[in-house]
Amino acid sequence: MSEDDSVLTRRHLAYIAERTRGDDDFLADLKAAAEKLDIPRIWISPAQASFMQIILKLHGAKSVIEVGTLAGYSAIQMARALPADGRVRTIELEDKHADFAEEWIAKSDVAGKVEVLRGAGVDVLPKLEPGSADACFLDADKANYPKYLDECLRILPVGGLIMADNALGFGRLLTAPEDDAGVGAVRRFNDYMAGNPRVHGVITPIGDGCWVGVKEA
């Protein structure tokens, strides 16, 4: 395939989704309950969850830091990819989201493996010890992604796994006006990743674009 041959359409994405592990009843119930509380439906897709689970398993990840818990869907999915003594620490600014996520994590199959840390990523991440995680997933306010990356590079060992959501700018990466704040923040982060000598990363076109990278230095 040459670079002129990309053919992905919505029908291809549906085809892929139909051949990827979907949500179990528990996760479907979590999403329905979140919607009732008007928690925004911006969780990762089941296909992206599978992708991240596979990457975490291949990495042998034991301790994940997530920035942006929302309803807890991705934290639960990531925890399922970890060994029995693995853990996810997930950082959430909004009490409403943290309350919901804690409630659903507590009744999930990974209760005890996921801890919600309340507060802003820029305040909580600096309190985490270097070497205390081997993977991270950034999925919070896009303007602060560069700061989250810098903190995660402080915490992760060389070889650590970096993942970040929404690299394709909510589907508007190449079409949003120059002054679009949200997409602008994504563009700045993408350039920061691409030019970062400490990270070997690639944007994978799954979901809304998922950065996958390795800390090299």
Residues found near ligand DHB in the complex (CB under 6 A): 42, 139, 165-166, 170, 208
With CB under 5 to 8 Å by kind, the binding choice for 134 among ligand DHB, Mg ion, none is none
List strand residue ranges (DSSP E) for the chain, in order: 63-67, 87-92, 114-118, 135-138, 161-165, 199-204, 210-215
Q: According to the binding rule CB under 5 A, does residue 66 interact with Mg ion?
A: no
- Name which of 136, 171, 170, 174 is nearest 156 in CA terms: 136
Residues in the chain, overall count: 217
Contact by Cβ (8 Å): 80, 53: yes
Phi, psi angles (nearest 5°) of residue 107: -100, 10
Residue 140 CB, shortest distance to Mg ion, in Å, is: 8
Complex with ligand DHB: residue 51 or 86, whichever CB lies closer: 51
With CB under 5 to 8 Å by kind, the binding choice for 92 among Mg ion, ligand DHB, none is none
Contact by Cβ (8 Å): 46, 76: no
Q: Which stretch binds Mg ion (CB under 5 A): 16-24, 112-120, 127-135, 138-146?
A: 138-146
Complex with Mg ion: residue 70 or 161, whichever CB lies closer: 70
With CB under 5 to 8 Å by kind, the binding choice for 170 among Mg ion, ligand DHB, none is ligand DHB
Q: According to the binding rule CB under 5 A, does residue 92 interact with Mg ion?
A: no
Residue number with the smallest Cβ distance to ligand DHB: 42
Contact by Cβ (8 Å): 74, 47: no
Which residues between 164 and 193 bind Mg ion (CB under 5 A)? 165-166
Q: According to the binding rule CB under 5 A, does residue 139 interact with Mg ion?
A: yes
Residue 170 CB, shortest distance to Mg ion, in Å, is: 9
**CA–CA distances in Å: residue 4 to residues 8, 123, 169, 195:** 12, 44, 22, 25
Q: According to the binding rule CB under 5 A, does residue 77 interact with Mg ion?
A: no
The span from the CA of 19 to the CA of 17, in Å, is 5
Contact by Cβ (8 Å): 203, 216: no
Residue 50 CB, shortest distance to ligand DHB, in Å, is: 16
Residue 42 CB, shortest distance to ligand DHB, in Å, is: 4
**Contact positions toward Mg ion, by CB under 5 A?**
139, 165-166
